[in-house]
Amino acid sequence: MLDNRKLQILREIMNANKGIHIKNLQEKMKVSRRTIYYDIKMINYWLETNGLDAINTSRQSGFSINLEKEKAIEELLPVINEYEYEPSADERMALILILITCTSSKYGIQELSDLTNVARSTCLKDIKNCSEFLKKFEVGLDYDRVAGYYLLGNEMSVRKSIAYAITLLLDHFHAELLNEKLRRALNNVEMDLNIGHSIDFFKEALMQTESILERKFNDRMLRFISYYLGLITFRIRREIFVDYPQEEGVQVKHAKEYTAAQVVCTKMKERFSMNLNDGEFVHVAIQLLCASLDAYYVNQPNDLSTMIKNEIIPDLIREFEILSCIVFENKPDLQKNLYVHFLPAYYRAVYQIHVENPIKDEIIMDYGEIYSLTKRALRPTEVRLGITFNESETTYFAMHFGSWFKNQGLNLNTKNIAVVCPSGIATSNFIAKQIVNLVPDECNVRTYSFREFESKKPKVDLVVSTSYLNRLTNALCVTPIITSDDKKEILNRLGYTRKTFYKNEIVHDMLNIVEKYCEVKDMEMLVNELKNYFSDDLTLHEEVTYKPMLSELIISDHIRIVEQASDWKEAIKMASEPLLNRKYINQEYVDAMIDTVVNVGPYFVIGPRIAIPHARPENGVNKLSMSLLKLNQDVDFNDDEEHSVNLIIILAAEDNSSHLKALSQLTTLLSRPEEVEAIMKAESVAAILSVIEKY
C-alpha cells in the first residue's frame, strides 16, 4: 500500500530526469534517512507486485527510474484506488468531520474506523483531534447512542468548519485518491445523491456565472466552491438552513454576485428537488464575493470597487514603498494584480471566511522582512475599512509585493517558460519571480491558470507547476518556495549549464573589478581562462545576498547629535556626512534626496518627528549603509509644520532587498513609542546605540 508520503517520493523520483539523491529527498519530505530507505523499500515492493522493476540506486545519480519504466508507472498510477491510499491524521480528521456533518447516517467508532481504514484506537485519537479542531469555530462534538456523533453549534459556524476541512483535503498531495474515498463514503449512505455528479454540476454552474460577474475564478477556488456547495447540499436537503440579519441581506442583494447566486440556487432547486430559504441565496452570493479570482473582464462599476481601485490600492502601494524605501517599477500591473486579489480578500475579512495559504509558515519564515513590512503597510487600510486581515491573507499580500521587486537576470538565449498554478495570481507570480531571478533576462516567463493553459496550449520550453502534469514531458513540479535542487533542475531542463551560467554573471563582474585596478594585456585569454576555471566545478553556485541587521549598519560612527539645523536641506546634508566621509555614498546621492523633497514632497516623513530620506541606488550609492541624526530642535520639511522632524535616518540601499532586514527591524523599533522617546531624550551616542542594539 502506498500512502501519501510514498506516493510523493515516487513522484519526486519520476520528476527528476537524472535522478535524485537521498539528501534531497530528506529535505523535501522532512524525514530521516532511515525513513526514506524504508519508504523506497515499500515502493519497490509495490512496483514488483505490479510487475515493474524496482527503483535504480546509484552513488552518482541517487534514485532514478528510466523513461520506459516511467511510462508504465504513469499508466498504473491512475488505477491506484482509495483502498490502497492511507490518509494522514489531518486528512482522516477532515473526512470524519465531513461524514458527520453532511450525512443523516449514524456514525459511531466502528463505522468511522471502517471508513477511514484505521484501528479503533487510532480512530478515537482522530475524533479527539476533530473535537479540538472544532473548538476554533465554537462548535462542539458530542455522541449519542442513538444518533451517533453529532455537532453542536450554529449553522454558520458548522459550515465554516466544513469549508476548512475541504481545504485540508484539496490542498494535500494526491487529493484525487482522497476525494474518491470521500465520494465512496458519501454515496454509500446517500444513495440518491451522487457527490461526484454534484460537484461537476456546481462547477459547470459556477463557470456559467463568470459572464454575469465579468470575472474569472482561479482554478483552486472554482474547485473549492464546487466541493463546498456539493457538500452543504446534503444539509440543505435536511432543511438545515443559514440565516442572515436583514440589513446584511439587503446589502448583498445589490451586488452582481446575488444575481449570479440566484442562477446557481435556481439550478440547485431544480436539480435536487429541494427548498431553499432566502438566507441560502445570500450565503451563495457571499461565497462568490469571497472567491479568489484570476481576472476581472471589465472594471467593476460600484462605489466600493472604485474606491479600492483608485484610492485604497495606490495608497497601499505607496505605504509599502515608504516603509521599504523602494520604488516599484511597472506599477500599473502591480495595481491591477492587487485589485484582483483585494476585493475577495476584503469580503473574506468582512464575513470572517478563512482561506488558508498552504505556504503561510514558509513565507513568514523565509520572507519575514517582506511579511513584516506588508503587515505594517496594511494597517492604515485596515483602519480605514474597519477590517483586519489574518496571517494567511497578509502572506498573500506579501507574495504580491515580493514578486514585484525589480528582477536582475542574465544574458543568454531566449526560452519560454510557463508557470501553471491552480492557487491564484499571488502564488503564480511568486513562483515566476523566483524563476525570473534565476534565468536570463531574455527568458520569457508567463503565468497561466490550468484552464487558460489547456485552452491556449502555448508552445513553451518548460512548464513549472505546483501540481503534477502527467500528460506533459516538459513539466516540472515544484513547491511554491523553489528549492535549490529544483533551481538546478530548471537550469538543466532549459539547457543552461553551470558554464554558461557563470559566463555572463561572475566572469563579467570579475572583469569589471580587474579593469579598475589592473592593466589587462590579453582580455580574450583572460576571459577564456576564467570561463574554464568556473566550468570545472559542476555544482551550481547559489547567489546568497547577505542582509545585515540594523545594529550592523547604524554604528556609533554613523550617529550624530546636534542642537539644530538651519533648514531641512542642511539637516539632510548633516545626516549624510558620516556616509560621505566613508565614501559609502557620493554627493550626487545627497542632492537626489533633496531633489526628491522638492519635486515629490516629504513623503519619507514616516511618522511624527521621524524621516527616512533615501533615493535610488543608481544615484550614487557605493555601499549599503545607514546613518542617524538627532536634532534637539525640530526642523520643518518643505516649510510644512505638519512635517516637523527631530530624527533623520539616511538609508543608502544598493538594491531592492539587501536592506530589508535592517529596515524591518527599524520599523519595529519606530512602532514602539517608548523606544522612540528614549532616542529623542538621549544625550549621547551610546544611549542611542543601546536602543538600536536591542534589534
Under 8 Å between Cβ of 464 and 448 = no
Taking residue 306's Cβ as centre, other Cβ atoms within 10 Å add up to 12
Residue 182 in this model has a pLDDT that exceeds 60 = yes
Separation CA 322–CA 649 (nearest Å): 13
Element (H, E) at 645: strand 640-652
Query: With bands split at pLDDT 50, 70 and 90, how would you rate the model's confidence at 380?
Result: very high
Write down the mean pLDDT value for the chain: 84
Separation CA 133–CA 165 (nearest Å): 10
**Number of alpha carbons in the 13 Å side-chain half-sphere of residue 2:** 25
pLDDT tens track for 545-566: 578 999 999 999 999 999 999 9
The stretch 474-498 carries a mean pLDDT of 79
Q: What is the pLDDT of residue 412?
A: 36
Separation CA 160–CA 134 (nearest Å): 10
Q: Which of the residue ranges 25-39, 302-316, 462-476 would you say has the lowest mean pLDDT?
A: 462-476
The residues, any chain, with a CB within 8 Å of residue 283's CB and separated by 6 or more, are 159, 242, 244
Residue 145 in this model has a pLDDT that exceeds 80 = yes
Q: State the amino acid at position 364 in one-letter form.
A: I
Under 8 Å between Cβ of 392 and 360 = yes
Query: With bands split at pLDDT 50, 70 and 90, how would you rate the model's confidence at 541?
Result: very low
β-pairing verdict for 640-652 and 609-611: parallel
Place of cell 536591542: 694
Q: What is the pLDDT of residue 426?
A: 73
The DSSP bridge partners found for residue 442 are: none
Query: With bands split at pLDDT 50, 70 and 90, how would you rate the model's confidence at 320?
Result: very high
Separation CA 410–CA 499 (nearest Å): 13
Residue 146 in this model has a pLDDT that exceeds 60 = yes
Separation CA 247–CA 253 (nearest Å): 10
- Which residues participate in catalysis according to the annotation? 614
What would the 3-class secondary structure string for 201-241 be? HHHHHHHHHHHHHCEEECHHHHHHHHHHHHHHHHHHHCCCC
CA distances (Å), 43 to each of 8, 467, 533, in order?
11, 21, 42
The stretch 488-503 carries a mean pLDDT of 66
pLDDT tens track for 620-633: 999 999 999 999 99
Burial class (CB in 10 A: 0-12, 13-18, 19+), 332: exposed
Residue 639 in this model has a pLDDT that exceeds 70 = no
pLDDT tens track for 275-312: 999 999 999 999 999 987 766 554 555 678 889 999 99
Question: Sheet holding 640-652: strands in order across?
Answer: 559-562, 625-637, 640-652, 609-611, 605-607
Q: Which residue has the higher pLDDT, 427 or 86?
A: 427
CA 272 to chain centroid, in Å, comes to 38
| Domains with residue ranges and CATH for the chain | 4-78 (1.10.10.10), 81-191 (1.10.10.10), 303-402 (1.10.1790), 497-543 (no CATH), 550-692 (3.40.930.10)
Spatial CA neighbour of 639 closest among 545, 550, 566: 566
Q: Which residue has the higher pLDDT, 521 or 343?
A: 343
Residue 573 in this model has a pLDDT that exceeds 90 = yes
pLDDT tens track for 55-108: 988 877 789 887 676 777 776 665 554 445 567 788 889 989 998 998 777 889
Q: What is the pLDDT of residue 178?
A: 58
pLDDT above 70: percentage of residues in the chain: 84
Taking residue 618's Cβ as centre, other Cβ atoms within 10 Å add up to 10
Q: What is the pTM of this model?
A: 0.69
Q: What is the pLDDT of residue 495?
A: 76
Q: What is the pLDDT of residue 502?
A: 44
Q: Which of the residue ranges 84-88, 380-384, 613-617 would you say has the lowest mean pLDDT?
A: 84-88
The stretch 371-377 carries a mean pLDDT of 93
